[in-house]
Amino acid sequence: MGWSRIEMAQKAAQDIPDGSYVNLGIGIPELVADHVPAGIEVIYHTENGLLGMGPVPDEANRDIELINAGKKYVTAIPGACYFHHADSFTMIRGGHLDISVLGALQVSKNGDLANWSTGKPGAIPAVGGAMDLVAGVKNVWVITDHVSKDGQMKLVNNCAFPLTGKGIVDRVYSNLAIIEISDEGLKVRELAPGVSFDYLQEQSEPKLIQ
């Protein structure tokens, strides 16, 4: 029942318009790059200073000075360019990117996102570029399991964890459904195979719109 991690990434990839500039967060979002439909050209941005990020290199072509935001080896496509961090966040904060795809700890009914800290004592908070991405990028998509590994709902009325941004999530791709978040509420766009609306609602704290 539901979508695999790869299927979630595929669903998001299929929704990216041709010609988009996209930043992919660490984790499942990284998989999106592998599933963009043929004939579509997407330019990937990685905030550590590369526009035109290409696929993962084979072992012989790894360069410790060519990595992505997750510090993994990547390549650069023909037509790529390198730049420093202030210029990279000019792209992000200045509204030049079309889509930011991020992971989540919690998403609230009004589009708040918590994805950087559980706020628990002893946890090491680490925010990276997430707050800049949600503040600056036109469309913020979240890819996440619908329920956490320890069985807690991630789609909630109000985020209990510290926020990354308020009212900024536009769409959630979970393993159970694709959900649009707007002023009208949480609208289910697509249910994963074998998932009923009622089941989805049971796994979600806010009231969903069919």
Partner 1 sequence: MINKLVKSDAEAVSDIFDGATVMIGGFGEAGSPIELIHRLIDRGAKDLTVVSNNTGSGNVGLAALIENRQVRKMICSFPRTAGSVVFPELYRAGEIELELVPQGTLAERIRAGGAGIPAFFTPSSVNTPLADGKETRDFNGQTYVMEYGIRADFSLVKCHTADRYGNLTYHRTARNFGPIMCTAAETTIVQAKHIVEPGAIDPEVVVTPGIFVNRVVHIADPAHESILVANQERYPS
Residue closer to partner 1 (CB basis): 131 or 147: 131
d(CA 170, CA 168) in angstroms, rounded, equals 6
Residue recorded with tokens 């697509």: 190
Selected from 1, 81, 160, 209, the binder of partner 1 by CB under 8 A is: 81
Mark residues 161-180: x for contact with partner 1 by CB under 8 A, - for none. Answer: -xxxxx--------------
List the x/- string, 13-52, binding to partner 1 by CB under 8 A: -----xx-x-------------------x-x-xxxxxxxx
Distance CA 60, CA 54 (A): 16
Q: Binding to partner 1 by residue 157, rule CB under 8 A?
A: no
Place of tokens 């592998």: 34
The two structure tokens encoding residue 127: 């925010």
Tell me the two tokens of residue 3.
Answer: 């979508």
Show the binding pattern over residues 100-139: x = contacts partner 1 (CB under 8 A), - = does not.
----------------------x-xxxxxxxxx--xx---
Question: Which ranges constitute the DSSP H helices of the chain?
Answer: 5-14, 28-31, 85-93, 130-136, 197-202
- Closest residue by Cα to residue 164 from 184, 142, 188: 142
Minimum distance between the CB of residue 52 and partner 1, rounded to whole angstroms?
7
Based on the residue annotation, tell me whether 205 is a catalytic residue of this protein: no
Distance, in Å, from the CA atom of 111 to the CA atom of 120, rounded to the nearest integer, reads 23
- From the list 7, 41, 47, 180, the catalytic residue is 47
Give 136 or 206: the residue with its C-beta nearer to partner 1: 136
Half-sphere exposure of 22 (CA within 13 A, CB side): 27
CB-nearer residue toward partner 1: 91 or 195: 91
Which residues are catalytic, by number?
47
Q: Which residues bind partner 1 (CB under 8 A)?
A: 18-19, 21, 41, 43, 45-52, 63-67, 71, 76-97, 122, 124-132, 135-136, 162-166
